[in-house]
Amino acid sequence: MKKMTDISKLLEINQLGDERGLLTVIEEKTTIPFEIKRIFYIHGTMPNVRRGFHAHYKTRQALICVSGSCKVYLDNTKRKTDVVLDSPIKILILEPNDWHEMYDFSPNCVLLVLASHLYDAEDYIRDYEKFIEVYGS
Which residues are catalytically annotated? 54
Binding status of residue 40 toward ligand T46 by CB under 6 A: yes
Give dist(CA 112, CA 26) in Å, integer. 12
Q: Which stretch binds ligand T46 (CB under 6 A): 19-27, 36-44, 78-86, 128-136?
A: 36-44
Residue choice 61, 70, 93, 99 for contact with ligand T46 (CB under 6 A): 61
Interaction between residue 52 and ligand T46 (CB under 6 A): yes
Contact call for residue 71 and ligand T46 (CB under 6 A): no
86-115: which residues touch ligand T46 (CB under 6 A)? 113
Using rule CB under 6 A, residue 42 touches ligand T46: yes
CB 58, CB 123: distance < 8 Å: yes
Q: Distance (Å, rounded) from C-alpha 26 to C-alpha 1?
A: 10
Q: What is the DSSP string of 94-126?
A: E-TT-EEEEE---TT-EEEEEESS---GGGEE-
Contact between 128 and ligand T46 by CB under 6 A: the answer reads no
Query: What's the CA gap between 25 and 106, in Å, rounded?
Result: 23
- Tell me how far CA of residue 53 lies from CA of 35, 87, 127, in angstroms: 24, 23, 8
For the bound state, the minimum distance from the C-beta of residue 17 to ligand T46, rounded and expressed in Å, comes to: 28
**Least distance to ligand T46 from the beta carbon of 21, Å?**
28
Query: Does residue 90 contact residue 64 with C-beta atoms inside 8 Å?
Result: yes
Identity of the residue, 23 or 107, whose beta carbon is nearer to ligand T46 in the bound complex: 107
Binding region for ligand T46 (CB under 6 A) = 38, 40, 42, 51-52, 61, 113, 119
